[in-house]
Structure 1
Amino acid sequence: MDSLLKRLRTVLYWVSVGCMSAMLCIIFMQVVTRYVFGYTYEWSEELARFLFVWVVFLGSALIMGEGGHLAVTLLVSKIKGRPSGTVLQFFINICSYIFIGLLFTQGWKMTSVMSFQTSPGMGLSMSYVYAIIPISAVLMLLYTVRDTLRIIAEARGKNSAELAES
């Protein structure tokens, strides 16, 4: 599973870099055409905004896979390795599952509801823009399951070590 998630991380990284690069080029083109030629393409601002939304949600999944989200770790670091630390880690993961479930269900609803609307500049169905919400939720779920399996493995390893010592 780890090798699959490492490959997924690489894909997410390069898709994010590609979207950021495209967004940078589009915004640069927009500035040049506006100030040099006095003209902007209708679709450029819209596409840059949509790419930004995708980068944010893909980046959130990517950072979740690396454990890089902002967190208060004072209590976790103080009780790590104890049974109460394991319980706290499980509680944190349960909260993550709840958040991911809400993100997926509400994102799915929003994607379905917005399928009739098209963007004014590009004529693109807005469901394509909002589809990243449930997609990122699934990606976050994969990383959270991995973290849960690690917690279980660490807890079992400790219990086996404690039994061997007694």
Structure 2
Amino acid sequence: MKNVMTLLSLRVNQLTNALMKVSLWAGIALCLLMTAATLGQVFCRFTNLFTFETSEEIARFSMCWMAMLGSAVALRQGRHLGVRVIVDRLPDGLYDKYLAPVIHLVMLAFFLMVMVKGWAFAMRGAAQHSPAMDLPMIYPYLALPVGGALMALNVIADMLQDKWPTNAGSDAQIASTVMENLAEVAADCEKETEIFDPLNTTGKS
């Protein structure tokens, strides 16, 4: 039974990693598209050479998808904001053994709700069309259920990884106390500051 669950954990984490890689590159492409549309709108406004009527919708819809895909990628990488003041003061093992599973379940319930309600919202908007591009509004609205599904998959993969560890799991460990040491993070930030501060404006030798 343990081997079966370990294999399941491996496959789910591998699938999650693949989807997050696709989401990352899709988010980058959408960010570039949003930037290009916004710059095009500004250029047209100040030059009056031609009109770019669809620029606002392109930028807005791209941002919706980019935000949801980016949230899923950030969750996988442990990049969301976290407050650890209370967690760090709990007795050893208490959080990982009792509280982390509860947090996993709360997160999973929330993301599943986003997925289900987002899908219902997208279906209600299927008959609507955007004014400028005449695009069915179901396409931008689908960002909600897709993002919710990806984040729910992240939580499921992390739950399996915590119980049946594999080499495909995320290092972030979404609801675990085994995260990067804050001192190490501060040291990395200091190194990056030195790299991008060739004139030594911080006053350090």
The interval holding the TM-score normalised by the smaller chain is 0.7 to 0.9
- Quick check: 1:101 aligned with 2:112? yes
Equivalence map 1:56-75=2 (5 Å)? 56-75=67-86
Shift of 1:105: 1.4
**Paired positions, count:** 154
Shift of 1:39: 4.4
Q: Which residue of 1 aligns with 2:201?
A: none
CA offsets 1:25-58 (integer angstroms, 9 cap, x no match):
1111111111012643221111110001111111
Q: Secondary structure at the match of 1:135?
A: helix
Q: Which residue of 2 aligns with 1:164?
A: none
Q: Which residue of 1 aligns with 2:122?
A: 111
- Quick check: 1:16 aligned with 2:21? no
- How many percent of aligned residue pairs carry the same amino acid? 29
Q: Which residue of 1 aligns with 2:93?
A: 82
The 10-residue stretch of structure 1 (21-30 or 70-79) with the greater mean CA deviation from structure 2: 70-79
Q: Secondary structure at the match of 2:73?
A: helix
CA contact (8 A) 1:89 1:151 kept: no
The AA in structure 2 aligned to 1:24 is T
Shift of 1:4: 2.9
Q: Which residue of 2 aligns with 1:163?
A: none
Q: Which residue of 2 aligns with 1:124?
A: 135
CA distance in 2, matches of 1:34, 1:136: 34
Q: Which consecutive unaligned segments of at least 5 residues does structure 2 have?
A: 1-10, 166-205
Shift of 1:61: 0.8
Q: Secondary structure at the match of 2:110?
A: helix
- Quick check: 1:153 aligned with 2:179? no
The AA in structure 2 aligned to 1:127 is I
- Quick check: 1:144 aligned with 2:144? no
Higher RCO structure, 1 or 2 (CA under 8 Å, sep 6+): 2
Say which structure is richer in helix. 1
Shift of 1:80: 7.2
Shift of 1:79: 3.7
CA contact (8 A) 1:97 1:144 kept: yes
CA distance in 1, matches of 2:86, 2:164: 21
The AA in structure 2 aligned to 1:9 is M
CA contact (8 A) 2:130 2:136 kept: yes
CA distance in 2, matches of 1:78, 1:149: 26
Q: CA RMSD in A?
A: 1.8
CA contact (8 A) 2:118 2:144 kept: yes
